[in-house]
Structure 1
Amino acid sequence: MTTLDLSPDELLTTTRTVRKRLDLEKPVPAELIRECIEVALQAPSGSNRQTWHWLVITDAEKRAAIGEYYRLAVEKYLAGSGAAGKLYADDPVRGPIQRRIGDGVAYLGERMGQVPVLVIPCLEAKNLPAGNQAGLWGSILPSAWSYCLAARARGLGTAWTTLHLNYEQEVGELLGLPEDIRQTALIPTAYTIGTDFKPAARQPLDGILHLDTW
């Protein structure tokens, strides 16, 4: 196994959403994906139930079909007023960043089906509870993010996407999912074109940190 020489803080701060720099041509060994999922399974889950499942899609026809559903969802998303490219449009600092993100979303929307590996972390949940669902999704989201971190450490890039969930039923039928399995995200995974990712600009800590009270 080849890993990047990253400290824990470097790994945590440079695991980016990768869209335009995914290598669509280089195959990803299945064993490498297994390693990443093995790491992900060490994440916490509610009551240690571990009711997670991982779909790894490498079949070209299925990837193309999922990619088409994702493309349709991206098309609708970009047409809406809340799309990344339209948020903070008049902000001289955040506006250009959001426009770049919008361009990246459009790029991946056209190419999702070409990414060598698509990963869908899932959770057993026949009936979604009313009201607070934090405990439910908290049983899979840390694991899914651990997968992204493990991939970054191995020179792979990922993107956290959920727009395909607009077609969750169709994708579920395509992949033969049982009715009690809920999809969490769609994580395209590929080698990256370069590995020199850096921390992203974020809001100043003092503007969002609250001690003891609001």
Structure 2
Amino acid sequence: MTHQRLSADEVLTTTRSVRRRLDLGRPVDLALVRESLEIALQAPSGSNAQHWHFVVITDAEKRAAVGEVYQRACHQYLAGPGAAGKLHADDAERSKVQKRVHNSVAYLADVMGQVPVQVIACARTGSTALPTGNQSSLWGSVLPAAWSYMLAARERGLGTAWTTLHLLYEREVADILGIPDDVHQGVLIPTAHYTGTTFKPAPRQPLDEVLHINQW
């Protein structure tokens, strides 16, 4: 299998959201996805419940159907006031970055159905309704595994992106994939090989602007 031989710090700081650079024409060996998911299962799980499930979609018709739902949800998001390209309009430098993100999100909306592999991380709760109040325990036992999958995929030469917009129409996607009513979707991760080789840490706020020691 292909490994990048990256250090832990490199994997953690260069696992970027890959949208425009996803290689839509190159097949993905399912063994790479399985390896990445095996690593994902080592993530923390509250009470060791391990109620995570992963739906891996390779069937062309199902990928296209999920892609149509995602595209519809994404276009709705892009038209709204909270879309990436409309944030930080008062900061010229940051606005440039936001517009690039906006455009890449729009691109992914139009090609999601063509991405070779789609992975949906889910939580099985035994109930058709999510718990009321604080859900950090529930999602804190699933989403770290999804992020671990993305990190492991990066090490194996695969690009991914964290997407949740399809959850506007979660039931439609559940019907396409036969997901039971007591299984709740958390994130949709497009997975493919990528073009180019340059991945680097993204610009972020200085740590001291968000760091609070002992009190706010």
Distance 1:132 1:210 in 2: 23
Match of 1:46 in 2: 46
User: RMSD in angstroms over aligned alpha carbons?
Assistant: 0.7
Match of 1:159 in 2: 161
Cα deviation, residue 92, structure 1: 1.4
Aligned counterparts, 1:47-66, within 5 A? 47-66=47-66
Cα deviation, residue 205, structure 1: 0.6
Residue 208 of structure 2 aligns to a residue whose secondary structure is helix
Distance 1:95 1:52 in 2: 37
TM-score by length of 2: 0.97
Q: Which runs of 5+ in 1 are unaligned?
A: none
Q: How many residues align?
A: 214
Distance 1:7 1:100 in 2: 28
Cα deviation, residue 93, structure 1: 2.0
Cα deviation, residue 3, structure 1: 0.7
Residue 198 of structure 1 aligns to a residue whose secondary structure is coil
Residue type of the alignment partner of 1:18:
V
Residue 201 of structure 1 aligns to a residue whose secondary structure is coil
Q: Which runs of 5+ in 2 are unaligned?
A: none
Post-superposition Cα deviations, 1:166-197, rounded to whole Å, max 9, x if no partner, equal: 11001001101111101111100000102321
Q: Percent identity?
A: 64
Distance 1:139 1:195 in 2: 32
Match of 2:130 in 1: 128
Cα deviation, residue 5, structure 1: 2.3
Match of 1:20 in 2: 20
Q: Does the aligned pair in 2 maintain the 1:3–1:154 contact within 8 Å? A: yes
Distance 1:38 1:195 in 2: 25
Post-superposition Cα deviations, 1:109-167, rounded to whole Å, max 9, x if no partner, equal: 00000000000011112231111110010010100000000000001000000000011
Structure 1 moving runs of 4+ over 4 Å: none
TM-score by length of 1: 0.98
Residue 5 of structure 1 aligns to a residue whose secondary structure is coil
